[in-house]
Amino acid sequence: MHTQTTQTVADTQPSYPVHIVVIPKTHIESLPALSDDSLLIAVMRAVKQIAGDVVAGRGSAKIVVNLGGYQDSKHLHWHVLHGKSLH
């Protein structure tokens, strides 16, 4: 799913059987750096859609945003996950 403000891709190094990443097209280093509430709302609409699709198909989903030392990529993104950790 791609929108005017986001792109959605399968994680290239998945940690879960279903591991989808929702990425704002505008560079934002981290959630605390996001000052545009309208962009946050637009991204969350995309996250809501993807998570809803996962729940409809799999019965459950988990949404994760990593910050600080947990953040491998210094570009804000949301993970939509399902299943048990592969690691």
Q: What is the pLDDT of residues 11-54, one digit of tens each?
A: 999 999 999 999 999 999 999 999 999 999 999 999 999 999 99
Domain ranges of the chain: 6-82
Q: Considering the domain 6-82, what is its CATH architecture?
A: 2-Layer Sandwich (3.30)
User: What separation in angstroms does the CA of 31 have from each of 2, 7, 16, 18, 78?
Assistant: 20, 17, 23, 23, 10
**Which band of pLDDT confidence, cut at 50, 70 and 90, is reported for residue 9?**
very high
> Which residues contact residue 43 at a Cβ distance below 8 angstroms, ignoring those fewer than 6 apart?
5, 6, 22, 24, 78
- pLDDT of 16 reads 98
